[in-house]
Amino acid sequence: MTVYLDHAATTPIRPDVLDAYTRALQVVGNPSSVHKFGQDARNSLEAARDSLAASVGANRSEIIFTSGGTESDNLAIKGLFWQRNAEEPSRKVIITAGTEHHGVLDPVYWLVDHQGAELALIPVNSQGEFDLDWLDDFLAKRGSEVALISLMWANNETGVIADIGRITELAKRQGIPVHSDAVAAFGHTPVDFARSGLAAMSISAHKVGGPVGSGALVVGRSVKLTSLVHGGGQERSMRSGTMDAAGAHAFALAADLAIRELASETARLNLLREQLVDGVLKISPDAIFSRGEAAGLAGTAHFTFAGCSADSMIFLLDAAGISVSAGSACTAGVNRPSHVLLAMGRTEDEATGALRITLGYTTTADEVKLFLEAFPAVYAAAKKAGLPSK
């Protein structure tokens, strides 16, 4: 029996979504065409926009369909920076955190290296929580220089949930737009764009049981940003290109199902995660549950193991038929410790022994039990092997 416990990387496409997606792919027509075939595709796309807007708490006009979270992050960060800096050249500062996904960090670093942006990193504590007192103080002193703030709703590695309402409240005083990468959060914790105060928010289909390659950037109706792609002017001229009606249809259905099940799944996964955390800490008393007492996603259990290599544990678990990860799938195979844990103050050795176990809608109590049965031998072998030589 194989056990999949890496839902934060991608979650299996839901059967109902796969069926709907397969049928939608057979619909012929470009949504921008005026004939019947095109309008049938357009109707499917716009119905998906309505549905997704309802799921995320937004107006339908605020949904900009993209290829996924990374594109959405790039569009938001570069687009907002270019727009604000063009309007007010003195606004060059971008505030973000060292614990962000590379979909946020890399475009920010690119803007610093190539577009004259200045980076300000908000401190995070040992549990991964943002220092909002620092943010308040920084904005009081330099708010007029800030072009945008980009801070994730929930961390994709540790699962810690941010106080987005407080962040946008502080930013509003200085007229600063806030973007949030909500890819890990949407469908797994309550998310309401209208109430959040955000200017833009990134979400992705494959994290909620939809297809890979479909996502959205939710952009406030009054928000202006400069497009990355120019062409036919689709999606409010923010994202030109032929629109993927089938992907949008599947994304909207997956989101709807995830939101309908959110309360019951949160309760169920909280119980399973608690069993998993308790079991791991009994097997390895020196293990550290990474987010401590901070509020976090129900399905995320992230640990560090002193004197162990994550690669060893992942390899041994995989040999036992159990799939987990060390962190973001985007950095899998990269021979360096988690940048998230380093930003949280962990040493390189501590960050090298990180293991992320993430549960989802397919996870059962039996699968958690199988993991806990396999883990003692895996942990003992990894502990014996120790850390890789530098």
DSSP assigned state of 189: B
Which domains does the chain possess?
3-10+262-385 (3.90.1150.10), 15-256 (3.40.640.10)
- In whole angstroms, what is the distance from residue 253 CA to residue 48 CA? 8
CA-based nearest residue to 200, from 175, 173, 226, 181: 181
124 in Cβ contact with 188 (< 8 Å): no
Establish whether 330 is a catalytic residue.
yes
What was the pLDDT predicted at 331? 52
Helix (H, G, I), strand (E, B) or coil at 288: strand
What was the pLDDT predicted at 387? 81
Per-residue pLDDT of the chain (390 residues; tens, 9 = 90+): 799 999 999 999 999 999 999 999 999 999 999 999 999 999 999 999 999 999 999 999 999 999 999 999 999 999 999 999 999 999 999 999 999 999 999 999 999 999 999 999 999 999 999 999 999 999 999 999 999 999 999 999 999 999 999 999 999 999 999 999 999 999 999 999 999 999 999 999 999 999 999 999 999 999 999 999 999 999 999 999 999 999 999 999 999 999 999 999 999 999 999 999 999 999 999 999 999 999 999 999 999 999 999 999 999 999 999 999 987 655 545 557 899 999 999 999 889 999 999 999 999 999 999 999 999 999 999 999 888 765
User: What residues contact residue 217 under an 8 Å CB cut-off, 6+ apart?
Assistant: 64, 66, 71, 72, 75, 76, 200, 201, 202, 238, 239
- In whole angstroms, what is the distance from residue 269 CA to residue 284 CA? 22
User: What letter represents residue 43's amino acid?
Assistant: N
What was the pLDDT predicted at 335? 59
Number of Cβ within 10 Å of residue 287's Cβ equals 19
What was the pLDDT predicted at 386? 83
CA-based nearest residue to 258, from 2, 65, 16: 16
- In whole angstroms, what is the distance from residue 251 CA to residue 121 CA? 33
Q: Which of 25, 119, 330, 387 is catalytic?
A: 330
- In whole angstroms, what is the distance from residue 311 CA to residue 97 CA? 26
Helix (H, G, I), strand (E, B) or coil at 185: coil
For residue 136, what are its two tokens?
Answer: 């308040």
- In whole angstroms, what is the distance from residue 139 CA to residue 120 CA? 11
- In whole angstroms, what is the distance from residue 304 CA to residue 310 CA? 9
What was the pLDDT predicted at 92? 98
What angle, 0 to 180 degrees and rounded to 10, lies between the N-to-C axes of helices 164-172 and 132-142? 10
What was the pLDDT predicted at 330? 54
For residue 172, what are its two tokens?
Answer: 């509003």
CA-based nearest residue to 219, from 181, 270, 179: 179
Q: What count of residues does the chain have?
A: 390
For residue 340, what are its two tokens?
Answer: 């998230």
- In whole angstroms, what is the distance from residue 321 CA to residue 95 CA? 41
- In whole angstroms, what is the distance from residue 327 CA to residue 355 CA? 7
| 56 half-sphere exposure, CB direction, 13 A CA radius | 37
Q: What are phi and psi of 120, to 5 degrees?
A: -130, 120
